[in-house]
Amino acid sequence: MKGVSQVSERVLLVDDDRDVLDLLGIWLEADGYVVDKAENGDQALEQLSVDNTDVVITDLAMPGMDGLALLDRITNLYPRLPVIMISGRAQINDALAATNRGVASFLTKPVQESALSESVNNALRIGVLEPTNDADMGDAAKAILHRSSIMRSLLQQVRRVGAGRSTVMIFGETGSGKELLAQALHEASPRSDQPFIAVNCAALPEQLLESELFGHVKGAFTGAMTASEGLFRAADGGTLFLDEVGDMPLALQVRLLRVLQESVVRPVGSTKDIPINVRVVTATHRDLDEMLAEGAFREDLYYRLNVIPLHLPALKERREDILLLVEHFLGDLAEETGEKKRKFSPEAADMLLRSNWPGNVRQLANVVEQCAVLSNSNVIPVCMVENALKRDKGQMQTLEEAVKEFERGYMVRLLRMVQGNVTKAANIAGRNRTDFYNLLNRHNLDAKKFRHE
């Protein structure tokens, strides 16, 4: 059943078999979709040109333009439009090939009503499985999961900028993935086989940051028992990523400027300049214009660093990517725990889509993990997302709420561990069976559900 929107989505069904077309049409109408029908590829393309279709379901084997040819045409004309492919078992290999050509999913004939409903729902939520067109990009770029046009443009920019030598400044909110983008930039550059080193300028006190960046000679300061080459030299030939550069103290900003101007680094306590060849990429979540006006950031350094600005959008500006990321996080969690991959109920997914995500991708990952860990069923209900978002906003729970939540989480983990065996669980919890059953009732947990997870 539909869940994302109250507005009826439009489904275009394409099959040369009228019997299939009519039956699937009724099933989809019963699910609340507006259904258009076409008996061949040409009719389908004509229909697409006049109506705002949300998803296409097409048969694979059709006379004239077959399903794969239609898929190719649709992918070219409407790259964001999800296409579900239906195939007979005899064409299963062709159908599998279609998954590499951008098909959202495929169904095998004879189609089951529930499978059809689920596929359409998923296609509308998750959209097109993008064909991998970033084969020449590095692992970091591939790890930046996206289907939004804003991220696609950004990665194209990264690809272009990567080839050059200019310094790059990445602007983006906390948790939006600035380091990953910097790494993608490094991997897209001719320096990709050289080191990529990242350092957070806000995480270290001034003296330590100075020594970390520029290195020091033995005895340069108390405790400098040995010499250190520093991160600039360690990154020689490669890329140094200075995160939160807006937090760098003014004294170090002067030294950084000199490194950029003269391509030499002078370790603390040394009088010798050492030539280096490092591409510097920086990032900040701070308003540098304001800092310039206040004199807290050097203007000459700012212009040196900000030769090419890259703006990483906040998650709320790329909502199309949310469910793709959610799927990825759930998959990772399932792999880590060895448990069945969980999924969000339609209402829960809707809430994930609508939230503002001030903590961006990092916050989304946290919320997904909290929900997956605490949920005792495979389908995560909307109330768990509500609670996780509440927790993540830092809203204080009452002591009673916190205790109840801890207790429930403990029970769920315990039941999973003992696979629903109440006797074992009660023993480990240090309770008798009656007490333990009372606890199960209090938290509305059913031990049997944990027996086959």
Partner 1 sequence: MAGSIEDKLALLKQRYTSTFPTKLAELEEAKALLDNGDRQGGLEKLRHHAHKLAGSGASYGFLDLSAQARKLERASLDSQGNDDSLNESLFIEYNNLLLLLNVK
Residue 34 in the binding site for partner 1 (CB under 8 A): no
54 token code pair: 């949300």
Taking CB under 8 A as the binding criterion, the range among 88-96, 239-247, 275-283, 312-320 that sits at the site for partner 1 is: 88-96
Cα distance between residue 102 and residue 104, in whole Å: 6
Residue 17 in the binding site for partner 1 (CB under 8 A): yes
Biggest CA–CA distance in the chain, Å, is: 86
Residue 61 in the binding site for partner 1 (CB under 8 A): yes
Residue 79 in the binding site for partner 1 (CB under 8 A): no
Residue 19 in the binding site for partner 1 (CB under 8 A): yes
Residue 150 in the binding site for partner 1 (CB under 8 A): no
Which one of 90, 250, 251, 293 is in contact with partner 1 (CB under 8 A)? 90
H or E, element range at 333: helix 322-337
Which one of 6, 89, 114, 395 is in contact with partner 1 (CB under 8 A)? 89
Residue 20 in the binding site for partner 1 (CB under 8 A): yes
Query: Is the separation of the CB atoms in 359 and 177 below 8 Å?
Result: no
Closer residue to partner 1 (CB): 109 or 416: 109
Cα 134 to the center of its chain, rounded Å? 16
Closer residue to partner 1 (CB): 121 or 148: 121
Residue 254 in the binding site for partner 1 (CB under 8 A): no
Taking CB under 8 A as the binding criterion, the range among 81-89, 167-175, 313-321, 415-423 that sits at the site for partner 1 is: 81-89
Cα distance between residue 83 and residue 54, in whole Å: 9
Any idea how long the chain is?
453
Taking the complex as a whole, how short is the minimal distance between the CB of residue 95 and partner 1, in angstroms? 13
Query: Strands, DSSP E only, in 268-340?
Result: 274-275, 279-284, 308-311
Closer residue to partner 1 (CB): 89 or 272: 89
Taking the complex as a whole, how short is the minimal distance between the CB of residue 83 and partner 1, in angstroms? 18
Read off φ and ψ for residue 200, nearest 5 degrees. -95, 110
262 token code pair: 């003269």
Cα distance between residue 240 and residue 183, in whole Å: 10
Taking the complex as a whole, how short is the minimal distance between the CB of residue 350 and partner 1, in angstroms? 23
Closer residue to partner 1 (CB): 110 or 131: 110
Closer residue to partner 1 (CB): 24 or 213: 24
Closer residue to partner 1 (CB): 88 or 409: 88
Residue 39 in the binding site for partner 1 (CB under 8 A): no
Residue 6 in the binding site for partner 1 (CB under 8 A): no
Taking the complex as a whole, how short is the minimal distance between the CB of residue 86 and partner 1, in angstroms? 8
Taking CB under 8 A as the binding criterion, the range among 85-93, 195-203, 271-279, 372-380 that sits at the site for partner 1 is: 85-93
Number of residues that bind partner 1 (CB under 8 A): 19
Cα distance between residue 27 and residue 104, in whole Å: 20
DSSP string, 163-224: TS---EEEE--TTS-HHHHHHHHHHTSTTTTS-EEEEETTSS-HHHHHHHHH-B-TTSSTT-
Query: Is the separation of the CB atoms in 74 and 27 below 8 Å?
Result: no
48 token code pair: 């697409």
Residue with tokens 């492919």: 85
Can you tell me whether residue 381 is helix, strand or coil? Answer: coil
Which one of 110, 190, 309, 331 is in contact with partner 1 (CB under 8 A)? 110
For partner 1, the binding residues (CB under 8 A) are 17, 19-20, 22-24, 26, 29-30, 59, 61, 86, 88-90, 109-112
